[in-house]
Amino acid sequence: MIAEKEKKVGRKAIPVAEKKIGCKIYLTKEQQEDIENYGVGASFSERCANLISLEIEKQKEEEADTVKIIDLFAGLGGIRLGFEQGLKKQGLHAKCVFTSEIKKYAIKAYQNYFGNEKIYGDITQIKTKDIPDFDVLLAGFPCQPFSSAGKGLGFSDTRGTLFFEIERILKEKKGIGKPAKAFLLENVEGLVNHDNGNTLNVIIAKLKGLGYKVNYKVLDSQYFGLAQSRKRIYIVGTLNEKVDLENFEKSTATFSDIMERGLPIIESTFTKKLFNNYSPDEVVGKSIKDKRGGKDNIHSWDIDLKGKTTKQQRDLLNALLCERRKKKWAKEIGIEWMDGMPLTVEQIETFYNNKNLKTMLDDLVKKGYLKYEHPKKLEDGQRKPDTSKPKGYNIVSGKLSFEFSKILSPNEMVPTLVAMDVSKLGVVDNGGLRKLSIREGQRLCGYNPDEYDLSILKENEAFDLLGNTVCVPVIAAISERVAMALKRA
């Protein structure tokens, strides 16, 4: 019987995934020596593969802890900065994959701090498909439409519709199966009550409609270790849970904690007249404006800024200052009430009787303390002179009419920084008066001036950005909770 042919025994087949392919690489002599020294393996090829595998694993671990963000309406990048700080406390790393901003000097400051990253312009001109996939959307969308400092037009203002750009991006990313895991939005406190709350209701409904668990709250920066009272609404949402915005740890500060000392003072007509009538200590904490009264207010006539006034004229101005705000005059004049209406000689005589009244009033008009004008009617949301009504006398100057609008007190916090008047905040220093410094402004918003350099900008540019920016520690505190939610997802 012929024996069966013995079966051939060969090497075991190697799975396709484990098959190795040859790759040609070019190395410097130093790189070759490093591979020989630090690599593990029987051959140079194995040592190369070992080092490459280790680096790949390291990159994968870092990627697992990385949260990709986009920064819209970025400004100085305060939301990004605070978000990075909050994530870091939870062992996560933020990677910004897209930034949008249109102000040239904001972009200059942003790139100077974060590096020369590409900054995209008008978000309305950018298609969602051109925005890299991301985990979290950050946006301090324009606040002027909802701000008391603006006209409060809300969604009827073209800037107000920019919220819908946020909605568009979130919606379209979700539509292609790449939904953002979370978002953090910031706006002015006025958004809460704008249009009797309808504007905010629309925003929240839109975000919830995209499947997010949404929460919002007005928070004041003064309780987050800053010497500025800045109330802002923060809107957050994640796909998996509602982020808690209650019971943050509180810490407080006063202006003296961040104040610079020994800076140059301003010698001007205004400061000379101010200190001819008051000592530096007496002006601390005072407001400088003509349209309000009270013990904490200094008026232009108190320092004869526009010309010499008599005691009788000052008494008249102080009386008119308060009386012109009373609602009874709107009814008598026949206009909708406004905060400060021109009154005729006959109307003024009812609360200030002086035989020389007309002469006194006309002299005050000539010097610029008063103006002689028609009452204003409300028309299309704006005040316009009603020439059918008789002219009357009214106070001329508001809080932005003078070189300084407020003298800060070292022992108190600073009122909300507003872009239009932050450069008019005064500080008593060196026995005189100076402006709030840019470095002080940065500290009031939580930017470390030793790290974030705004000296590359013009003063008015820096103050404009600081007046519109977020308070970094508040963002950081919220972001830490967002990070915790992301880790639980």
Over residues 481-485, the mean pLDDT reads: 97
| Residue 262 within any structural domain of the chain | no
| pLDDT at residue number 124 | 92
Regarding predicted confidence, which is higher, 37 or 477?
477
| Residue 76 within any structural domain of the chain | yes
Are both 85 and 227 inside the same structural domain?
yes
Place of tokens 């809460």: 192
So which residues are the catalytic ones? Answer: 143
- Structural domain harbouring 321: 290-395
Three-state DSSP state, 198: helix
- DSSP secondary structure, 75-126, as one string: TT-HHHHHHHHHHHHTT-EEEEEEEB---HHHHHHHHHHH-S---B--GGGS
Are both 69 and 186 inside the same structural domain?
yes
Pair 482, 137: CB distance under 8 Å = no
Burial of 99 (0-12, 13-18, 19+ CB in 10 A): buried
Are both 294 and 245 inside the same structural domain?
no
Are both 306 and 386 inside the same structural domain?
yes
- Nearest partner of 231 among 244, 246, 221, 242, judged by Cα: 221
Domain count for the chain = 2
| pLDDT at residue number 8 | 53
> How sure is the predictor about 99, in pLDDT bands with cuts at 50, 70 and 90?
very high
- Nearest partner of 138 among 75, 65, 83, 64, judged by Cα: 83
Over residues 435-463, the mean pLDDT reads: 96
Is the pLDDT confidence value at 143 over 70?
A: no
Distance CA 274, CA 256 (A): 23
| pLDDT at residue number 12 | 66
| pLDDT at residue number 9 | 56
> How sure is the predictor about 142, in pLDDT bands with cuts at 50, 70 and 90?
confident
Is the pLDDT confidence value at 189 over 60?
A: yes
Burial of 334 (0-12, 13-18, 19+ CB in 10 A): exposed
Is the pLDDT confidence value at 329 over 50?
A: yes
Is the pLDDT confidence value at 157 over 60?
A: no
Are both 176 and 131 inside the same structural domain?
yes
Q: Of 376, 395, 414, which residue is a domain's last?
A: 395
Are both 241 and 295 inside the same structural domain?
no
Q: Of 335, 360, 395, which residue is a domain's last?
A: 395
Over residues 204-227, the mean pLDDT reads: 96
What are the angstrom distances between the C-alpha of 32 and each of 36, 41, 48, 258? 6, 14, 9, 54
Contacts of 266 (CB under 8 A, 6+ apart): 403, 432, 433, 434, 435
Is the pLDDT confidence value at 160 over 70?
A: no
**Which two three-digit tokens encode residue 247?**
């019971």
Are both 188 and 241 inside the same structural domain?
yes
Over residues 336-350, the mean pLDDT reads: 94
Distance CA 241, CA 256 (A): 40
- The amino acid present at 326, given as its one-letter code, is K
Is the pLDDT confidence value at 279 over 90?
A: yes
Q: What is the pLDDT of residues 352-396, one digit of tens each?
A: 999 999 999 999 999 999 999 999 998 877 889 999 999 999 998
Are both 183 and 321 inside the same structural domain?
no
Over residues 245-266, the mean pLDDT reads: 97
**Which two three-digit tokens encode residue 5?**
């042919």
| Residue 15 within any structural domain of the chain | no
- The amino acid present at 435, given as its one-letter code, is K
What Rg value do the Cα atoms of the chain yield, rounded? Answer: 32
- DSSP secondary structure, 272-330, as one string: HHHHHHS-HHHHTT-EE-SS--STTEE-GGGTTSSS---HHHHHHHHHHHHHTT-HHHH
Distance CA 39, CA 44 (A): 8
Is the pLDDT confidence value at 427 over 70?
A: yes
Is the pLDDT confidence value at 408 over 60?
A: yes
> How sure is the predictor about 300, in pLDDT bands with cuts at 50, 70 and 90?
very high
| Residue 444 within any structural domain of the chain | no
Is the pLDDT confidence value at 237 over 70?
A: yes
**CATH of residue 171:** 3.40.50.150
Are both 300 and 376 inside the same structural domain?
yes
| Residue 56 within any structural domain of the chain | no
Over residues 221-240, the mean pLDDT reads: 97
Burial of 133 (0-12, 13-18, 19+ CB in 10 A): middle
- In this prediction the pTM is 0.81
Question: Mean of the per-residue pLDDT values for the chain?
Answer: 90
The residues pairing with 378 across neighbouring beta strands, listed in sequence order, are: 383
Neighbours of 265 (CB within 10 A): 17
What are the angstrom distances between the C-alpha of 275 and each of 53, 312, 339, 428, 433? 73, 22, 31, 11, 9
Is the pLDDT confidence value at 223 over 60?
A: yes
Are both 155 and 102 inside the same structural domain?
yes
| Residue 319 within any structural domain of the chain | yes
Number of residues that this document lists for the chain: 489
Pair 381, 151: CB distance under 8 Å = yes
| Residue 414 within any structural domain of the chain | no
| pLDDT at residue number 215 | 98
Q: Of 346, 374, 395, which residue is a domain's last?
A: 395
- Nearest partner of 193 among 244, 236, 239, 231, judged by Cα: 231
Burial of 218 (0-12, 13-18, 19+ CB in 10 A): middle
- The amino acid present at 355, given as its one-letter code, is K
> How sure is the predictor about 44, in pLDDT bands with cuts at 50, 70 and 90?
confident
| pLDDT at residue number 60 | 63
- Nearest partner of 228 among 420, 477, 446, judged by Cα: 446
Q: What is the pLDDT of residues 428-445, one digit of tens each?
A: 999 999 999 999 999 999
| Residue 382 within any structural domain of the chain | yes
